[in-house]
Each structure stands twice: as C-alpha cells, then as structure tokens.
Amino acid sequence: MNDIVSATDIPSVTLIAPAFNEGKTIVENVRSLLSIQYPYYNFILVNDASKDDSLEKLIKEFELEPHDATFITQPIPTASVNYIYKSRNKKYTRLTVIDKNNGGKADALNVGINFANSELVICTDVDCIIEQDALLKMVRPFLEEDNREIVACGAGVGIANDSIVKNGVIKELRLPVNLVPMVQVVEYIRAFLLGRMGWGEINGLMLVSGAFGMYPLKRLLEVGGFDAKMVGEDMELCIRLRTHMENLKLPYKLVYLPETLCWTEAPPTYQVLINQRDRWSRGLWEIISIYKYLFLNPRFRHMGMLYFPYWLIFEFGAPLVEFFGVIAIMVFAFMGLIKWSSAILIYAFIYLLGCLFSTAAVFMYVKSFDHYTKPKQVVELLLAAYLEPFLYHPVLVYGQMKGYYKKLFKIKSGWGVMTRKGFKISED
C-alpha cells in the first residue's frame, strides 16, 4: 500500500455518509471516518433532517459555520438543501456537513453526489466502522484494470455486534453474544466469501452492498444517482449501471474485494431481522418488476442470459419454493402420501450439504483473515451454522414472505425501523 500512499496521480475520493438521528454516536463516528488513511479524500456527511441533536453536536464539536448552498448546481433532483457547514478549524478541512430536508437514505446520498468534486465516490453508513486502509485497497482495482472500466467496487462487510470500539476503531473483535447476530456472521461470511467472490470472478456481480461501495462519480451522474423511490437502492443502482454500460457498448466490470473492510451492526433480535428481510425482499420484488425485460434478453449478453435469470429463479424464487414446499409437506403428511424413510434421508442429505458449505466458508475465512482465530470462536461459528436451519432460517423466510405479501397486496411500507443497540465503546 505504500506505493499508493506516496503516489501523486491516484484518484481523489469523496466519502458520503447519510445520517438521521445519530446523535448518540455521531461525533465518534465522524472522527472515525476522518481518520481514514488516504491522501486525497473528502468526507461529506449529509444530515437528513435529523430530529435529535445530531447537527448541534456536529456544529459544536467540529466548529462548523453555515454557508449558503442555493447557488450550487445540483444535477440530481433531491429534497432541498438548507445549509452547507464547513469548519473554522484547519484540522477538519476534509469535512463538509450538508443539512437538508428529509428525503431518505438514497436522497441523502444523491445530495452528497451532487456536491462531490472527486473522481470516485464511496457510499457508506455513518455508523459503519471502516478499516483505516480501506480506501487504499478499494482504489487499487481502479488503478490496475486496463481493459475494462470499473463501475462499482465492493468489499466484505463484517458484523461487529458486542465488539469493543475505541476512537472509531475496533479494539477487540468479538463474536456476538446472541444467536441471531451470531448466525448472521456465518451468513455474511458465506454470502461474501463464497457467493460474491465467485460472481466477481466471472463479472457477474449484480449487487454492491449499500453499506460500503465505491463508484466513478462520472457514471453516477450519468445514470442519475440512486433511485430514492426504491427500498433496494443499492442493487438497483448496480443493475442500472450495468445496463447503462451495455447500452454504451463499453467494456466494464464490477469488482468484489473479499477482505472485510467495513464493520456494521447486524439486527440483534428476530423482530429487527424480520423488518430487514421484509425490506430486502420488497426491494428485490421492485427490481425484478422494473428490469424484467432483462430476462433471457441476448442484447444484454451474460447479464440477460445468466446473471438476471439466476436472481429471478434462485434469489427471488427460493423463499416461495421453501414456503409453499413446507405447506405441501404438511398437506401430504396429513394425507399419508409421504414415505418417511426416504424423506428423512433426503432432508438429512440437504442439511449436511448446507453444513458442508457453511463449514468450508468458515474455515476459508479463518484461514484467510486474522479475525476469528481462537478455537472457541471457530467452534461457536460452526455451532451457529449447524443450528441455522432450525432456529434462524425459518424466521428469515417468514420475513421475506412478509415483504412479498406486502408487494402482492400493495400494502404501503417504507424503509422500516432498524433498531440498533450501538457498539461497545471503550473508555480506557
């Protein structure tokens, strides 16, 4: 990384983070995001009309002064901006705080995109903990790729529930105490390490996590930024970027870095998990509906013939198959149509196959990264993986079906509430 740090021709980066009612941790979070190691980056925090004391704390802590924003051209339509805040203190020259009327996360990100003046933009959540060298690693693919333009770059997102945080940095990475976030550690490891790394190798990524994604500013402006009407705005943006590049007939690539560079807090309870998966499934439903013209459309090459059909059949269809499959089994059992000796063997095979994939993902992760190295932690991860089909997955499917139900019967539902406990802050 030293060659990037010392280089003078590396791309400039703007870090954009929306904030809404983050007053409890806003100062600590901003300090963390200002301490990232990268020579040419600015940080735009967009206050989306917080109702708590977030803005007041920022003004006091970082010595902010308001400036008029009405004269600045905003190419992407958004909710109106009230003021731009810059610090009087030279220590915080990287920081810009934009106070705007409420419009939601995607709208807040678009405001940041409008005010950015860098080559690359990285979108994150203000309460995420980003590794200090994350930007150095994220820009490397943009520097190394010669034949194709990179339109999105994502990295692994880890779960830091119950970990110890000091000065915006994870001082001690711990496994979550409760089962729900513990299983999500395994789920994230499996999804990011096996799933997205595999799709990345064949340029089949259709999603860069909304918690941590880097994009060329030029392309974001060309496609009009994030769609504020979507609840799955991160995936929708990636598909729109792909279709845009296909229409331009330009070679492009979406990149995934397997290393965990961003840490977030996962849903700590079943109810919060249901709310999250409800929202994700509604977002997927909307995306499938909007982009159904991609299905088996040779004009869009691999995306139309392989990547989008996979998402439609396996990602969108899996909860439906599981849900109605359980109902069918109950009906057949009641009618005496199930040969239980064969059924149990089939169930055992499927269960053991799932455990095999989870075990492989856990050991690959432990071997590749210095995160969960204690034998006790490995045992706990494996135990969580083996309990997942019984104590976690049925709840996950319920949340997904709840989202489908809302879309099917046109029940209006917004972003939903993501209740967070907050990270454990070390005082010493």
Residues 138 and 261 in one domain: yes
For residue 144, the enclosing domain spans 128-411
Amino acid identity of residue 413, one-letter, is S
d(CA 253, CA 162): 36
Q: What is the CA radius of gyration of the chain?
A: 22
Sequence-distant (≥ 6) Cβ neighbours of residue 127 within 8 angstroms: 22, 25, 29, 264, 265, 420
Q: What is the pLDDT of residue 69?
A: 82
Residue 18's contacts (CB-CB under 8 Å, 6 or more residues apart) are 45, 46, 48, 105, 108, 109, 112, 125, 126
HEC string of the chain equals CHHHHHCCCCCCEEEEEEECCCCCCHHHHHHHHHCCCCCCEEEEEEEECCCCCHHHHHHHHHCEEEEECCCCCCCCCCCCEEEEEEECCHHHCCEEEEEECCCCHHHHHHHHHHHCCCCEEEEECCCCEECCCHHHHHHHHHHHCCCCEEEEEEEEEEECCCCEEECCEEEECCCCCCHHHHHHHHHHHHHHHHHHHHHHHCCCCCCCCCCEEEEEHHHHHHHCCCCCCCCCHHHHHHHHHHHHHHHHCCCEEEEEEEEEEEEECCCCCHHHHHHHHHHHHHHHHHHHHHCHHHCCCHHHHHHHHHHHHHHHHHHHHHHHHHHHHHHHHHHHHHCCCCCHHHHHHHHHHHHHHHHHHHHHHHHHHHHHCCCCCCHHHHHHHHHHHHHHHHHCHHHHHHHHHHHHHHHHCCCCCCCCCCCCCCCEECCC
- In terms of domains, do 69 and 177 share one? no
66 half-sphere exposure, CB direction, 13 A CA radius:
10
Residue closest to 103 by CA, chosen among 187, 207, 10, 229? 229
Are the beta carbons of 67 and 86 closer than 8 angstroms? yes
Q: Quickly tell me which residue has 């965990």 as its tokens.
A: 260
Beta bridge partners of 406: none
One pLDDT digit (tens) per residue for the chain, 428 residues: 555 555 667 999 999 999 999 998 899 889 989 999 999 999 999 999 999 999 999 999 999 999 988 767 789 999 999 999 999 999 999 999 999 999 999 999 999 999 999 999 999 999 899 999 999 999 999 999 889 999 999 999 999 999 998 877 888 999 999 999 999 999 999 998 888 999 999 999 999 999 999 999 999 999 999 999 999 999 999 999 999 999 999 999 999 998 999 999 999 999 999 999 999 999 999 999 999 999 999 999 999 999 999 999 999 999 999 999 999 999 999 999 999 999 999 999 999 999 999 999 999 999 999 899 899 999 999 999 999 999 999 999 999 999 999 999 999 886 655 666 666 666 55
pLDDT at res. 402: 97
User: Do 65 and 151 belong together in one domain?
Assistant: no
The tally of CA atoms less than 13 A away on the side-chain side of residue 353 is 6
Please tell me the number of Cα atoms within 13 Å of 363 on its side-chain side: 6
Query: Which residue in this structure is represented by tokens 């991860």?
Result: 381
What is the structure's pLDDT at 1?
A: 57
pTM of the model: 0.93
- Asked whether residue 426 is assigned to any structural domain, the reply reads no
326: tokens are 């359980």
Q: Which of 93, 108, 127 is the last residue of a domain?
A: 127
Per the domain annotation, does 49 fall within a domain? yes
Residues 240 and 286 in one domain: yes
Residue 341: how many other CB atoms lie within 10 Å: 7
Domain check: are 154 and 83 in the same one?
A: no
Instruction: Specify if 18 maps to a domain.
Output: yes
The span from the CA of 404 to the CA of 289, in Å, is: 12
The reply to whether 398 falls in a domain is yes
CA 10 – CA 142 distance, rounded (Å): 9
- Asked which of 88, 108, 127 is the last residue of a domain, the reply is 127
Return the exposure string of 124-145: e unless at least 16 CB atoms fall within 10 Å of the residue's CB, then b: bbbbbbbbebbbbbbbbbbeee
- Separation of alpha carbons 220 and 281, rounded Å: 25
- CA dist 59 and 86 (Å) reads 9
Interatomic CA distance for residues 206 and 294, integer angstroms: 12
- Is 120 exposed, middle or buried, given 0-12, 13-18 or 19+ CB atoms closer than 10 A? buried
75 and 46, same structural domain? yes
Domain-terminating residue out of 110, 127, 144? 127
In a domain, 428, yes or no: no
Residue 159 shares a structural domain with residue 235: yes
| Co-location of 191 and 289 in the same domain | yes
In a domain, 427, yes or no: no
- Quick one: 116 and 139 in the same domain? no
User: Domain check: are 267 and 297 in the same one?
Assistant: yes
Q: Are residues 136 and 265 in the same domain?
A: yes
Instruction: Please report the pLDDT score of residue 302 as a whole number.
Output: 96
CATH number of the domain within which 57 lies: 3.90.550.10
Do 6 and 20 reside in the same domain of the chain? yes
**Domain count of the chain?**
2
Is residue 386 in a domain? yes
Q: Is there a domain that residue 30 lies in?
A: yes
